[in-house]
Structure 1
Amino acid sequence: MSDPMVTSVKQSARAPTNSVPPHDVVASAAIPVTMDGMFGHLHPASGETGVVFCAPWGFDALCTVKFHRLIAADLAQRGYPAIRFDYPGEGDSLPVEAGATFDIWVAGALRAAEELRDRTGCSRIIYYGMGIGAAVALRAGQQDANLAGYVLAASTLNGRRYLRETALREKIIEDGLAIDFGYPEGSTVLASFIMDPHLAADLKALTVSIDGMTAGLPTLVLARPENAADIELAEQMSSAGAAVECIDFSGYGAMLDGVVTSPIPLELIDTIGNWFSRNIPQDTGSLARQAADNEPPALQTSMFRERPEIVDSRLFGISCAPRLGGEKAVIILLNMAYAPHTGWGRIWVETARTLARQGIATLRVDLSNIGDSPADPKGPDQVVYSEDQLNDVHAVVRHVRNSTKAPILLAGICSGAHSALCAGATNAEVAGIVSINQLRLVLDPDEDVDSLLMAGARPLSDYKRRATSLSTYKRVFSGEVNIPKAAWNIASHARDRVLRGISPYLGGFTKLGRLRGRLFALLRRLEDRKVPVIFISCRTDGSLDQQRLYFGKTLAGQRAFPGLRHILLENADHTLSPPSVRQHVIGILAEAAEESAKRG
């Protein structure tokens, strides 16, 4: 659905960070499965050897969903069936009432292997594990009589060391953010993911041994650059009798730093696939039964029911509805950049299940080339802020409308908020919009999207403070600060401040005046349809600066739109990390849905 107010965006001249391998463009979404409260994705094939993916924890899992989907899809094309799954209490899986432990995670991996065998007829299993998932993979393999080998990536086998490294990473994330995160006392946290305390207690005493390795067992180790522990693990496994090949985990650091830009090491995917082809016999098995169920799988509790949704045979999502049905409204929860549908810190999972208890349904969805949704064969590599992404949103709205008569709302954070606003303005089925921390109310068509995504989310005041900080000078001289990127960000903020002052007098003669005209045209369309818009912003990420840029320092310009409401979140960051802030935002979403239901 094309619209003159939605412009194409400038693509970077360099190689796109989110390029897609050819095998993804022809792939459809994997087959969703449920297993004893766990959610998984099955990639069927007819080979005798299957692969079970044991993901890392929390933020690292969020950053690698797409990477692991691409590996699994490639292996399935080579004849190796694969299954990816969410540990109990993680991702889309249900919580564990008594708390998730390390042994429960291992049992989850073994249950996923059982599911893979039942559905595809494979007999032997290779366990792939990344990060702390490598410890899960090793433990599961040691309990599997038909173990075929391991793939161990950026492995962590010592739980206490892992917890120390996690705490250090979180300290770096929180550095300089003058907010009270309010996480539970003594909790293990990384980028708003809070680890189950039972699991954290287990990890303090965890050391996974590699004794008793089967002679000649095929093992691939993906070693982080300059990481002595990964090299040592490969040597130890070789000494224990395994047939080990150790390769560089190229692109590891960029991938874990780049959930908003989705840099995927494509060559590594081919390298892994070629290792399988060389080392794992590709005997063809007989399919035990149909890989897909006749009835769609579902996870449910006494309060909500969740089931997978495949939109246009390609876009993957999870609908969450009140257990007894009869939803008052449906909120479509959109991706923030390349963060998958579960959301940063599982915010969309928490949101969906909380709202279902209040009679409000949701659909958390991955748009093209994000998370569990493959790329559109005809779409661009860079999908964020693109018109193609808006077309995906329209397809999702049509999908929801085909199943309910309830009001449909759109909600998103950052780029997801931009998609909600632009798509909502041109879609008559949308009854409400909630925009959270939107850093671009409208996009400058000359702006490079890759640069925008990599710039991060900081207000001008933060750049001023850091510029006069002694620690910043030290980081500049040590090479830690990206000077060109920082200069671009500061110049951008300064330019916006100047333009904000003069554009009211020059109107469409300035670029800001023209962009303001586009924004106001969108808002007038929504006013004409009586569609309420809620802008939520905070002080720490630049979203409030963006509101002031278009509506004035006091936001007086918003008075021209009676259906527009602005809410300023205090003690909040861009990704809504503090648990109390999340609950506040969920309450705003619930109120918006209730109001839409009353209007009918």
Structure 2
Amino acid sequence: MLTDGAGQTLIDEPIAAEPVPVMLGDAFGWYSPGARRRGVLLCGTFGFEQWCAYRSWRELAGMIAGAGCAALRFDYPGQGDSRDPAGPEIPAALETIRAGVAFLREQAGAEEIVVVGLRLGATLAALSGAEIDRLVMLAPFPTGKAYRREMAMQARLIDVMPDRTPMPQEPDSLMVGSFLLGPRTLADLARLDLAAAERAPAPRILLLGPKVDALGERYRALGSEVETGPFPDLTQLVSDPLFSRTPDQTFALVRDFAVAGGSLPVSSPDPLPGPCRLADAAWQEEVSRFGPGLVGILCRPNGPWTGDTVLVVNSGRNPRAGHGRQTTRLARRLAASGIASFRFDLRGIGDSPARPDGSLPLYAADSVADVTAAIDHLAASGFAPGVVLGNCSGAYQAFQALSGDSRLRAAVLVNLYRFALKPGTDIETMVRDTFRHSQGYMARARQGRFWRRILTGDLSVARIARALVRDAAARLDRWTTRAPWRTLQSTSVAGRVAALRRRGARICMVYSADDLGIPTVQAHFGNSEARVARRLGYPVQILEGTDHNLSRAVDQDRIFAILEGVVREARAADRPGTAAEPASPQPAKPPADLTLRLSRTG
């Protein structure tokens, strides 16, 4: 039973239903039916911030559905798993909000509509013109210009090259966390202004966040009943994709406001929507659940299929659409070349269930079981994968899967940091100390601002000492990796790679220039370019001028060319007598100075 602060019953029979995928025009969404005549539409924010908040946003939808109200959340057109919009992004987003309200009225039989908006999503919800009964605005931007200013500041911190300099921006565009805001989007944002509204967006409004009092007074003057309050845990929700935390107390307030006074049960709810299939001229996609409740999307060509399927593993805590939506774009591009692909969420990521112990899935040894479940699912569906792709922690899981599953013929490992981890490794500490800083403490010790931060107390000397000890231990481990007593072991990295090479599998390793994982190759396989290529099956490829996340379109083009070449060669190896077709464009040729580069970086 759910009650309010005074003990009054809000919903006497809370229910929870498994959400089902739906389409709202070009937008892909998740719908949870409810027993009441109230529907709640969740309008997330854009790009990087929503990527950070994705998992928590899913939890909020579950809280609302569990209280008995139908809940609908979605990816805006051009984001996540949605189709690209036919026109500009901002008008398409506003139209999707209106379509979501209509869906709840028609599909859920909702007579009352509540809209919950986060950040830019709150701004858009208030300006959508949709007829709604209640509106929750979580840290809204008063204007589109304010959103652009804040994202520009974020970009200088998030999108950086290996030397920590800001990534060059395209003219009249803004990239934030690998999500690109184009010229038309920026122009449309500049016209958004909540204070210019002449009618209130809803009769009842809950405003939570910093500096919301003036906006609250404006809506009161327009006739709304407005409640305001702080949003103390906003930063932990939208600023860190790896370690984002769900703001439980704030979300509980949102749920209570959204469901309070909910009307009587629906007499005869409509049946659930049928299977959700996304399609375009070159591709078609279908959502599936498999294994221990995992969620994935199979993307296949609309035209002839070559018989090839690529399995893509999550990087970090990125949902299956990938960093900056790269995986979705890659999947649809592969389909245009006749290649199928499957992107899915490991447990603890995106729309898959939580891990049993609630821990992060990054570098978790047991997460390879999720990859195996995906392979089993695809094999049973007639789309057995031959190539697995992963970036960073996803590359780690891809290597484990390739080593343990003979059904895989090749792996493309992008910016792999470690092939293996010692039991008991503190993953969260390793990730915080390593991936938040592309320079080690020894390198930064040569910079004056580093010492100023120590003297002012901004950096803890004890913390630095612990990090240096860990770094020294890691270096010692690398130095002894190729010692005879270790390389002869079948469980060593060299032994595992030799075993998979004997069965005909190969590894294509790709690195951004100066990536922190490059010394891993040297540690296990030596400095000789030819020897490394012979042991892995492919030469290591170093991509100049790229960041760790391969954010720019030109860098993603290079990965696509490399992957397409590996897929075609794996196909030829599986089908004797079939010549591999050359990929177009050809995979980037590895630099001649690979040996020197590995030595210098290590």
**Aligning the two structures, in what range does the TM-score lie when normalised by the shorter sequence?**
0.7 to 0.9
CA distance in 1, matches of 2:536, 2:238: 42
1:308 match: 287
CA distance in 1, matches of 2:205, 2:153: 30
Give the drift of 1:341.
0.7
1:11 match: none
Superimposed CA distance per residue, residues 537-564 of structure 1 (whole angstroms, 9 cap, x where no aligned partner)? 2234311122223333456763662535
Give identity over the alignment, percent: 25
Q: 1:354 aligns with which of 333, 338, 349?
A: 333
CA distance in 2, matches of 1:90, 1:492: 39
CA distance in 2, matches of 1:488, 1:447: 14
The answer to whether the Cα contact below 8 Å between 1:312 and 1:395 also exists between their aligned partners in 2 is yes
Q: 1:473 aligns with which of 446, 451, 455?
A: 451
Secondary structure of 2:515 counterpart: coil
Q: TM-score, normalised by structure 2?
A: 0.85
Secondary structure of 2:321 counterpart: coil
Give the drift of 1:462.
5.3
Q: Which runs of 5+ in 1 are unaligned?
A: 1-25
Structure 2 residue 418 is matched with structure 1 residue 433:
no
Secondary structure of 2:479 counterpart: helix
2:272 match: 291
Please show how residues 329-478 of structure 1 align to structure 2 within 5 Å.
329-376=308-355, 378=356, 380-404=358-382, 407-457=385-435, 463-477=441-455
2:256 match: 274
Give the drift of 1:239.
4.9
Give the drift of 1:70.
0.4
1:583 match: 557
Letter of the 1:157 counterpart:
P
Out of 499-508 and 27-36, give the one that drifted further.
499-508
Structure 2 residue 471 is matched with structure 1 residue 493:
yes
1:251 match: 233
2:104 match: 116
Letter of the 1:359 counterpart:
G
Letter of the 1:286 counterpart:
S
Secondary structure of 2:49 counterpart: helix
1:128 match: 116
1:172 match: 157
The answer to whether the Cα contact below 8 Å between 1:260 and 1:336 also exists between their aligned partners in 2 is no
1:265 match: 247
Letter of the 2:40 counterpart:
V
Secondary structure of 1:33 counterpart: strand
Letter of the 1:593 counterpart:
V
Please show how residues 83-94 of structure 1 align to structure 2 within 5 Å.
83-94=72-83
Q: TM-score, normalised by structure 1?
A: 0.86
What RMSD in Å do the two structures reach over aligned CA positions? 2.8
Relative distance call for 1:232 and 1:525 in structure 2 (3 A) is: farther
Q: 2:31 aligns with which of 12, 17, 42?
A: 42
The answer to whether the Cα contact below 8 Å between 2:134 and 2:205 also exists between their aligned partners in 1 is yes
Relative distance call for 1:198 and 1:280 in structure 2 (3 A) is: farther
CA distance in 2, matches of 1:196, 1:312: 39
Q: Which runs of 5+ in 2 are unaligned?
A: 1-14, 575-602
Give the drift of 1:285.
1.9
Letter of the 1:391 counterpart:
A
Give the drift of 1:86.
1.4
Q: Greater Rg, structure 1 or structure 2? A: 2
Give the drift of 1:586.
1.2
2:45 match: 56
Give the drift of 1:344.
0.8
Letter of the 2:309 counterpart:
V
The answer to whether the Cα contact below 8 Å between 1:337 and 1:416 also exists between their aligned partners in 2 is yes
Q: 2:520 aligns with which of 546, 561, 566?
A: 546
CA distance in 2, matches of 1:325, 1:284: 48
CA distance in 2, matches of 1:93, 1:599: 35
Out of 246-255 and 409-418, give the one that drifted further.
246-255
Relative distance call for 1:109 and 1:514 in structure 2 (3 A) is: farther
CA distance in 2, matches of 1:438, 1:571: 18
Letter of the 2:470 counterpart:
S
Secondary structure of 2:501 counterpart: helix
Secondary structure of 1:120 counterpart: coil
Secondary structure of 1:289 counterpart: coil
Secondary structure of 2:540 counterpart: strand
Letter of the 1:256 counterpart:
V
CA distance in 2, matches of 1:125, 1:92: 25
Q: 2:537 aligns with which of 556, 563, 576?
A: 563
Give the drift of 1:175.
5.3
Give the drift of 1:392.
1.0
Letter of the 2:138 counterpart:
A
CA distance in 2, matches of 1:55, 1:514: 52
The answer to whether the Cα contact below 8 Å between 1:368 and 1:392 also exists between their aligned partners in 2 is yes
The answer to whether the Cα contact below 8 Å between 1:88 and 1:96 also exists between their aligned partners in 2 is yes
Secondary structure of 2:420 counterpart: coil
Relative distance call for 1:110 and 1:528 in structure 2 (3 A) is: same
Please show how residues 150-299 of structure 1 align to structure 2 within 5 Å.
150-174=135-159, 177-178=162-163, 181=167, 183-209=169-195, 211-213=198-200, 217-223=203-209, 227=210, 229-277=211-259, 279-293=260-274, 296-299=275-278
Q: 2:307 aligns with which of 325, 328, 332?
A: 328
Secondary structure of 2:410 counterpart: strand
CA distance in 1, matches of 2:153, 2:378: 43
Higher RCO by CA contacts (8 Å cutoff, separation 6 or greater): 1
Give the drift of 1:359.
0.8
Letter of the 2:271 counterpart:
Q
Relative distance call for 1:169 and 1:249 in structure 2 (3 A) is: same
Letter of the 2:109 counterpart:
G
Superimposed CA distance per residue, residues 522-580 of structure 1 (whole angstroms, 9 cap, x where no aligned partner)? 31331132111111122343111222233334567636625354211211222111221
Letter of the 1:31 counterpart:
V
The answer to whether the Cα contact below 8 Å between 1:44 and 1:82 also exists between their aligned partners in 2 is yes
Give the drift of 1:149.
0.6
Letter of the 1:569 counterpart:
L
For these two proteins, the number of residue pairs brought into alignment is 558
2:583 match: none
Relative distance call for 1:356 and 1:214 in structure 2 (3 A) is: closer
